[in-house]
Amino acid sequence: MSKAMMHLALLLCSYSLAQPGPATTSSLVRIPLTPGAVRVTDPAATREFGTLLNSLAQGQKSGCQTSEYLVWSDAGVADQIGSGLNAQFKARALTFKTLDEDEDDESYTLSFLLTEKQNRYVGVLYGDAESVVLGWCQLKAAVSASATPVAKPVIPAAKPPAPAPKPASRAAPVKTTGAALAGDYVCVSGGAPELSVAGPASQAPVNPATAQIRSYANASKYRLFSGGTWGDLTFGEKYVNQKGYKGTYKILPNGDVDLISDAGNRLYLFQPLPTTDRRLVLVEVHQPADRYKAQFCTRVD
């Protein structure tokens, strides 16, 4: 693993020189960072490291939802980084578990699992004589495929004295079908402005162009096929049909879409919504308190 990690570290370090400013706080775990950290977001630099993180996530029967890659170009701060992370993990009540450890005369590699009340993370910390690299990702929530979908409130419509004609500009409901769903989707978390408003998801304004562009390098990407299967595009076309990166989906009687992993576990329960420019979006069905982590997927093909 050391040679592979050395290659990944060199790749991240080479791109870190072009990244803007130091990172003082982790955007993933929300803890202060040892001074000197640079966040690398270029997909050309992070793609291979992302594949490594996803393999760790697969070992936890999950997948990566959001990731972060950090580089310190001064190897002399390695001990400070380690002690700083340990202190912050304890302060945040994050439980640390070593998954694998590899050390030789030239480098040190540690893969680990972090667990807190609502979230889990996997990560890899690598250090050599030149630099220290940290890559980690938040795991997707594990939900049983047999779980009952979140109930949607039914509000009876008041009966008018006489039938009122529908406004001409109002679109007819779209029936959810495999053919309608088929396409490539870019998914960001509910921290997106599209989901920052109060009220049910169906009232959230949609801006597909913004959703497509924002954090594209670290967003989840899926391809839905009309026959009821899907593949993960997050790490490129070559993974879309590989085991562990694909699954099936079911269209429920109410039109919601149940995304299911190879192992038969529910990954997401989506509500399809049309938009003003006739694109299709998938909004994860969620409780209001969980809006911050709900997935918002825009079809971009």
Same domain, 9 and 135: yes
107-122 confidence digits (pLDDT tens): 888 999 999 888 899 9
Evaluate whether residue 156 is within a structural domain.
no
- Could you list the beta-strand ranges (E) of 183-244: 183-188, 220-224, 229-232
Same domain, 122 and 20: yes
Same domain, 116 and 236: no
What pTM was computed for the model?
Answer: 0.48
242-256 confidence digits (pLDDT tens): 877 888 999 998 888
Q: What is the domain-level CATH number for residue 206? A: 2.40.128
Same domain, 80 and 24: yes
pLDDT computed for residue 134 by the predictor:
93
Q: Which domain holds residue 290?
A: 178-299
Same domain, 73 and 195: no
Evaluate whether residue 21 is within a structural domain.
yes
Q: How confident is the model at residue 198 (pLDDT cuts 50, 70, 90)?
A: very low
Strand partners of residue 102: 109
Evaluate whether residue 172 is within a structural domain.
no
Can you tell me the mean pLDDT for 132-137? 92
Buried b (16+ CB within 10 A) or exposed e, 203-226: ebebbbeebbebeeebbbbbbbbe
Evaluate whether residue 295 is within a structural domain.
yes
Q: Percent of the chain, pLDDT > 70? A: 66
Which residues, in sequence order, are CB contacts of 245 under 8 Å at separation 6+? 54, 231, 232, 235, 239
Domain count, the chain: 2
Domain boundary among the residues 90, 112, 139 is at: 139
